[in-house]
């Protein structure tokens, strides 16, 4: 794992955006894997700013999001579908028909999961996957204990994850209990992975990722087995690593 050390959240976001922009320019038909949450928000802002200023085009780009809450429709302001439209897709020239987010209200969840993986595979796989990380080491919504061989599947969210995400909802009771997420093996099939980590509250997490063993109890640890992972971490996140 290659680590790029940056000063703060702003620099992390700009550095990540520069990498994405370079890849999109190099391959206008790139397939991006995208994340939601607080971490990539600044990167999306930088992509939007660049699109307005330099007209980087996303017309031919395809995207797959990591996850979606079960029970939330795309127009629900707390759905990840809504987040992506609001934080990025509505502000660039991407063709929304090529933006895929797991369907949180499918008739048949198993079939939806299978279809999601099949669609990624049929298009040739994800070229660049953006990841954030939960304090417990989750990537996507793959909580500790998830099998490293998992494909896209439905998960029960840990209380700590629901609490961490409650900031976006009126109350913790409104946070869905289940989500659909790309599996660990889906993520590991990406050709390149960019993991963004910012803030003191992720310092222990980053330390464990770097120093700890590879175990399903800490899902992100599998990234050590991937041959093209870049971590962009700010000083607060790096504060536990000497």
Structure tokens at 99: 């933006």
- Give the binding-site size for ligand F6R (rule: CB under 6 A): 13
User: Least Å distance between CB 207 and ligand F6R?
Assistant: 16
- Subset of residues 134 to 173 that bind ligand F6R, contact rule: CB under 6 A: 134, 138-140
Residue nearest to ligand F6R (CB): 132
Backbone phi and psi for residue 130, each to the nearest 5 degrees, phi listed first: -90, 135
Minimum distance between the CB of residue 30 and ligand F6R, rounded to whole angstroms? 19
Regarding 66 and contact with ligand F6R (CB under 6 A), the answer is: yes
Tell me which residue has tokens 């629900």.
76
Question: Which residues are marked as active site?
Answer: 67, 136, 138, 143
Least distance from ligand F6R to the Cβ atom of residue 155, Å: 11
Nearest distance, CB of residue 73 and ligand F6R, angstroms = 17
The piece of 31-39, 53-61, 116-124, 226-234 that touches ligand F6R (CB under 6 A) is 31-39
Q: What whole-number distance in Å separates Cα of residue 238 and Cα of residue 242?
A: 8
Give Cβ neighbours of residue 196 (< 8 Å, ≥ 6 apart): 12, 13, 16, 39, 40, 43, 130, 131, 132, 231, 232, 233
**Measured distance CA(188)–CA(184) in Å, rounded:** 6
Contacts of 173 (CB under 8 A, 6+ apart): none
Q: Which residues in this chain contact ligand F6R in the complex, by CB under 6 A?
A: 35-39, 66-67, 132-134, 138-140
């Amino acid at each position: 794992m290659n680590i790029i050390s940056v000063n703060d959240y702003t620099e992390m976001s700009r550095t990540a955006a520069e990498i994405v922009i370079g890849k999109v320019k190099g391959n206008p038909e790139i397939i991006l894997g995208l994340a939601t949450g607080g971490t990539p928000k600044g990167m999306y802002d930088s992509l939007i700013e660049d699109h307005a200023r330099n007209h980087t085009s996303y017309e031919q780009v395809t995207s797959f999001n990591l996850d979606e809450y079960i029970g939330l429709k795309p127009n629900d302001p707390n759905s990840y579908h809504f987040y992506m439209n609001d934080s990025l897709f509505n502000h660039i020239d991407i063709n929304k028909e090529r933006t895929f987010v797991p369907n949180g209200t499918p008739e048949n969840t198993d079939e939806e999961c299978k279809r999601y993986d099949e669609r990624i595979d049929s298009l040739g796989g994800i070229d660049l996957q953006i990841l954030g990380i939960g304090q417990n080491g989750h990537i996507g919504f793959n909580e500790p204990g998830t099998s490293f061989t998992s494909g896209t599947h439905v998960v029960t969210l840990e209380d700590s994850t629901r609490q961490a995400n409650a900031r976006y909802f009126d109350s913790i009771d409104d946070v869905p209990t289940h989500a659909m997420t790309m599996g660990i093996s889906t993520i590991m099939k990406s050709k390149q992975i960019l993991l963004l980590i910012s803030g003191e509250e992720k310092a222990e997490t980053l330390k464990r990722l770097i120093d700890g063993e590879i175990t399903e109890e800490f899902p992100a640890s599998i990234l050590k087995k991937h041959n093209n992972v870049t971590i962009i971490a700010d000083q607060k996140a790096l504060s536990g690593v000497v």
